[in-house]
Every structure is written in structure tokens, then in C-alpha cells.
Amino acid sequence: MTRNIDQVFAALADPTRRAILAMLLEDDMAVTDVADPFEMSLAAISKHLNVLTNAGLISQEKRGRVKWCKLEPDAMRDASIWMQGFGQFEPVNLDAFERFLAAELPHESEDGA
């Protein structure tokens, strides 16, 4: 099932959720382990996990008494394809742009005038 791209981008908009996804790149994790590095309640982490689950970016399953989270990388496919459409533009080289501006813009006098 194709997930709504808006849900994916909304889920990725939050830095906590991006950090969670990065953690899950390593391996599946128990919810309590996901919550450990963050200074927020387990309930708050659960809300973030639900947003990620609803976007299809992770799945959650209960194994015994422990709830586990697993990254679902295929959910980012549509968003990735959409973003690749912008790949026709060259990335901006900020150093080259700065050199260009320095060469093209008139220099201010030493006294700041």
C-alpha cells in the first residue's frame, strides 16, 4: 500500500522522529531503548512512534512483554522519488558563491563608509 507522501514528510519534519529513525537504522529496538536517550516521557516517545507508524516509516510488534520497533525503509520510496525530481539542479557550492560575491561586489572602504 502506498503511503501518503504528506504523512511521510510530516513525520520527517520533527528532529526527534528523525533521530529515532537514525537509531533504528542500526537494528530493531525495544520502545524503552528508543526512549532512553531522550529527555522526555515514555508517553511522549510513544506519540512520536505512533506518528512514524502511521506514516509507515516504522512497524511495531509485541514480542512477549516487550514492544519492538523496526524501520520500514520502503515507506520513504515515494518521498525519495519525489525529491529526486529536483536532482536536476546542481548543489550550491557556498565557497564558490562566496568567492563570486567577493569578486563582483564593490568593496567597502576601510572606514566602513
CA distance linking residue 23 with residue 72, whole number of Å: 13
Residue ranges of domains in the chain, CATH in brackets:
5-104 (1.10.10.10)
pLDDT value at position 85? 78
Q: What is the pLDDT of residues 33-71, one digit of tens each?
A: 999 999 999 999 999 999 999 999 999 999 999 999 999
CA distance linking residue 13 with residue 25, whole number of Å: 18
